[in-house]
């Protein structure tokens, strides 16, 4: 009703610091014009006072925070499940993170070792290919000499 439009009109007016006072609840609370009632409208008009609005914000924040904590806990359990030797049910988050760090470092060391070994094998393959090419140089094919004296030999083979 009329109380809601007064708030909207207030939002459109330029801020005048000497006409504003801080609401209870700290520096982050919204400011209102001096003389404006804390309760816009009468108690059943659909407009809630600052206490109800603060309570809704707290409840919303608490729900958001609970979802965030639940996501963290879910991911910690997922991390615990993929770590080797970490099947104990009562492992705290710090232990899970330490185990994950140790496991990642181990995997990094293994990747480095496998990379070095791969490079060694690639060098060996290259050396063998070069050796093969050196041994199998294409030779100039020479036709077999067909002499008149070879024709009786060919006729006996056929």
- This prediction has a pTM of 0.49
- Compute φ and ψ for 24, nearest 5 degrees: -65, 145
CA distances from 11 to 29, 38, 51, 92 (A): 15, 16, 20, 49
Return the closest-CA partner of residue 79 out of 94, 100, 98.
Answer: 100
109-131 pLDDT, tens digit per residue, is 999 999 999 999 999 999 999 99
143-156 pLDDT, tens digit per residue, is 666 666 655 555 55
| 8 A C-beta contact, residue 43 and residue 1 | no
């Amino acid at each position: 009703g009329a109380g809601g439009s007064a708030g909207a009109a207030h939002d459109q007016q330029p801020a005048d610091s000497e006409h504003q006072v801080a609401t209870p609840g700290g520096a982050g609370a919204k400011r209102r014009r001096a003389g404006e009632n804390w309760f816009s409208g009468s108690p059943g008009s659909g407009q809630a006072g600052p206490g109800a609005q603060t309570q809704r914000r707290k409840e919303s924040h608490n729900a958001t925070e609970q979802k965030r904590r639940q996501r963290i806990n879910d991911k910690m359990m997922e991390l615990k499940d993929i770590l080797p030797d970490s099947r104990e049910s009562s492992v705290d988050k710090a232990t899970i993170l330490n185990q994950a760090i140790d496991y990642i470092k181990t995997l990094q060391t293994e990747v480095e070792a496998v990379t070095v070994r791969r490079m060694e094998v690639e060098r060996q393959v290259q050396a063998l290919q070069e050796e093969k090419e050196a041994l199998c140089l294409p030779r100039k094919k020479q036709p077999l000499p067909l002499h008149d004296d070879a024709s009786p030999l060919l006729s006996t083979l056929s």
